[in-house]
Chains A and B, each alone.
Chain A
Amino acid sequence: MRTHDDEMPKVKLPSLQDVMDADPAGSRVPDPVHGALPPPVRRIVLDQPPTVATPAAPQTRAAGAGAAPTPGHGGVRHAGEPGPERMRLDALSVFYDDKAAVKSVDLSIRQGEVLALIGPSGCGKTTLLRTLNRLTELTASARREGRIALDDTDIDELEVTTLRRRVAMVFQQPNPFPMSIFDNVAYALREQSMKRPGKAVIAPHVHDALQRAGLWDEVKDDLDRPALRLSGGQQQRLCIARAIATRPEVLLMDEPCSALDPKSTEVIESLILELRKDLAIVIVTHNLQQAYRVGDHVAFMYLGDLVEYGAAEQVFGAPRAQRTRDYVGGAFG
């Protein structure tokens, strides 16, 4: 993990490689306080009973389990088994003109877990997120360095349309298309340069996507209604349905709840926990409680640097870097 040496406190973080592979012998700089990272812990259950049993913590992580809260305290829910690595960022930097917005970040995104990106405004977390499916390329002044791999393939080698179908995005503002609910999802399903499949072919897939986004029961009777007549929370779930309709491997969410009321936020958060089983989810959020609630891992960014990366419990409970401590404690941001 890259750190800002001049401002860093004495504690040196283990590199990402160490965290992910967690080969204790190969640990270059063992964390003096915590050892390796504790397993990710889920704290809230929302409405549903836990769906995932306490995982057999990966051996390598068990070494650091001492720092983790004891499993089984009230309402604790453990993350699912971390799945295979989906995306990998190596020394990723993004520049707008000459200004670095993201500075040499290494990260790993795994299936079956939620990675929450937190940090003060302008720290580069949204830029980082948008780089993952090359949406930054829409900004003329943006330039990228470093490598991003999706399933070990450099994303530059993929057709950008393919990449964006595999790494889907949900935006900050609910942005359904000005068309019917059905067409919003169907549009995502109709593949580029393919013969447009008919409604009968596509309807089951639309149904499925809306079902998974938890919207089906609310809209099944009026799929022909304009999507813009839905409430804000429903619109955002429609956007999620649209994004997951193509069965992406990674779902990027850019502050998906910031425009929503608490109730809709709760619904979307439980949806995130539900979707996490099949997907790798990266969520950018300003809401620390939200990062705490939905994040399996949390990455704290500051001025373009990845300052701290770890299990949610660790980053919020026992942050290693001074700046993380300040931010989480509300000293700035």
Chain B
Amino acid sequence: MATQIHQGPPPLPPHGGFGDGPRGSRKRGGESLSTWRYGDRVAYAMCWFCGIALCVIAGAIVLYMAARGLQYLNFTLLSTHPEAGLDQKKTGGFLDPIIGTVLLTIIGIAIATPIAVATAVWIVEYGRPAWLARLVESGIEVVAGTPDIVIAIFGLALFQQSLFAPLSLTADGGAVFGRSFLTAGAMMSLIALPMVFSATREGLQSVPALVREASYGLGKTKIATIRRVLLPSVRPNISTGMALGMGRICGDTAIVIVLLGATLRLESEGGIPGFNVLKGTGSTLTSYVYNNSPAGEGNAPQKAYAAAFVLLLIVVALNFTVDLIARRGSKTGLETGRLGA
């Protein structure tokens, strides 16, 4: 603020300072909050309070989970397969759920990202006819607003059609099981899609029109402009959306329980190496936490805490990784640059 270089008497009247931030007015004339109107004081206090409160809540969650998780977490838990059993000492660790979480997240985001980015590009750069654009936007809003359990049972109904038989186990009688990493991943992509979509759309909308004009002015077509200029410059936005979307996928439980088959271990299906895992069933950390919480069958809260902590770590690590990739890959300078300076 420029106020700091003011010398001499403050330019405002003693009770003035309308539209002036508290910092400015305090520094100027040694004004105190008591000169403010009550509404302003309350609003000011609320801003501080809410900001700090949110930090405290986030910190409390992480610290609590860390404390409880680290208490029970050990390397054996991370590296052994889960076993069914009543004796908690013999039920193994949660290696499979960790792999399941990672696998499902990758499948989900890999399906969601291209679709979301393409949709965002279409909305922002083409978006004609207008009614269709509105329809597409509300479609995405509906998807974003649909509870995951609804998406899950819809997915189950969908993937049990014989058309989708190659994606999951087909029983001897010809009934399609409909549950596999592929089907769950496909539905998970719907969870992540709105995140990637809105981040990309906002990024594209914030690219100034003069950048597009510059490209057209060089004799470039619209699609070349999109591919070579716009998409590279919104890469950080896309990765932000991806990080958020992956966080959502990691944390989703309903789709896992309904569509992933809820087998403790990864159960392969079919004979094609690699693909058989995707076609098979399994569990994730969320379903593992659920099952081991007092609400689930396992009822081993210690393991639930440990798994929940690992899940939290995975989400945080995902965010950092994506952030890192975005920053390293970007030579745009948009963050620190001054476009149209």
Contacts and interface: CB of A to CB of B under 8 A. Distances in A.
Interface of A: 133, 135, 138, 160-165, 168-169, 171, 173-180, 183, 187-188, 192, 224-229, 231-232, 235, 239, 242-243, 246, 259
Contact of B208 (A175, A192, A243): A175
B223 to A, nearest CB: 10
B218 A188 contact: yes
B205 to A, nearest CB: 15
B218 A228 contact: no
A165 B219 contact: yes
B220 A192 contact: yes
28 contacts: A135-B217, A164-B217, A165-B219, A171-B214, A171-B217, A174-B340, A174-B341, A175-B211, A175-B213, A175-B214, A177-B215, A177-B233, A178-B229, A178-B332, A178-B339, A179-B331, A179-B332, A192-B220, A192-B224, A226-B337, A228-B333, A229-B333, A229-B336, A231-B341, A242-B218, A243-B218, A259-B340, A259-B341
Size bracket of the B interface: 20 to 34
B219 A135 contact: no
Nearest to B341: A232
A37 B133 CA distance: 56
Interface string B174-194: 000000000000000000000
B338 interface: yes
Contacts of A168: 217-218
Contacts of B213: 135, 138, 171, 175
B232 interface: yes
Contacts of B215: 177, 187
Interface in B306-341: 331-334, 336-341
Nearest to B214: A175
Given A171-B210, A228-B338, A179 B217 contact: no
Contacts of B216: 135, 138, 164
Contacts of B337: 178, 226-229
Contacts of B232: 178-179
B32 interface: no
Interface of B: 207-208, 210-211, 213-221, 224, 228-229, 232-233, 331-334, 336-341
A37 to B, nearest CB: 31
A257 to B, nearest CB: 13
B45 to A, nearest CB: 39
Contact of B339 (A163, A188, A228): A228
Contacts of A226: 331-334, 337
Nearest to A163: B219
A138 B334 CA distance: 25
Given A161-B219, A192-B220, A177 B214 contact: yes
Given A173-B210, A192-B219, A187 B333 contact: no
B235 to A, nearest CB: 10
B340 A173 contact: yes
B75 to A, nearest CB: 43
A175 B340 contact: yes
Given A171-B213, A171-B217, A226-B332, A177 B224 contact: no
A168 B219 CA distance: 8
Contacts of A164: 216-219
Nearest to B218: A188
A107 to B, nearest CB: 20
B229 A187 contact: yes
Contacts of B333: 178, 225-229
A242 B233 CA distance: 18
Given A164-B217, A226-B337, A259-B341, A180 B208 contact: no
B236 to A, nearest CB: 10
A125 B291 CA distance: 72
Nearest to B215: A177
A175 B340 CA distance: 6
Pick from A161, A162, A228 the residue with the most CB of B within 10 Å: A228
Q: 3 tightest CB-CB pairs across the interface, nearest first?
A: A228-B337, A226-B333, A178-B332
A138 B221 CA distance: 12
Nearest to A159: B219
A158 B334 CA distance: 35
Contact of A246 (B207, B218, B336, B341): B218
A223 to B, nearest CB: 11
A20 B127 CA distance: 46
Nearest to B340: A173
A109 to B, nearest CB: 17
Contacts of B332: 178-179, 226, 228
Contacts of A224: 331
A164 B214 CA distance: 11
Given A135-B213, A225-B331, A228-B336, 10 more contacts: A161-B220, A162-B219, A164-B216, A173-B210, A178-B332, A178-B333, A178-B334, A179-B233, A226-B334, A228-B339
A51 B73 CA distance: 79
Contacts of A163: 219
A214 B339 CA distance: 21
Pick from A138, A224, A225, A239 the residue with the most CB of B within 10 Å: A138
Contacts of B224: 192
A229 B210 CA distance: 17
A181 B119 CA distance: 30
Contacts of A169: 217
B218 A165 contact: yes
Contacts of B341: 174, 231-232, 235, 259
Contacts of A177: 211, 214-215, 229, 233
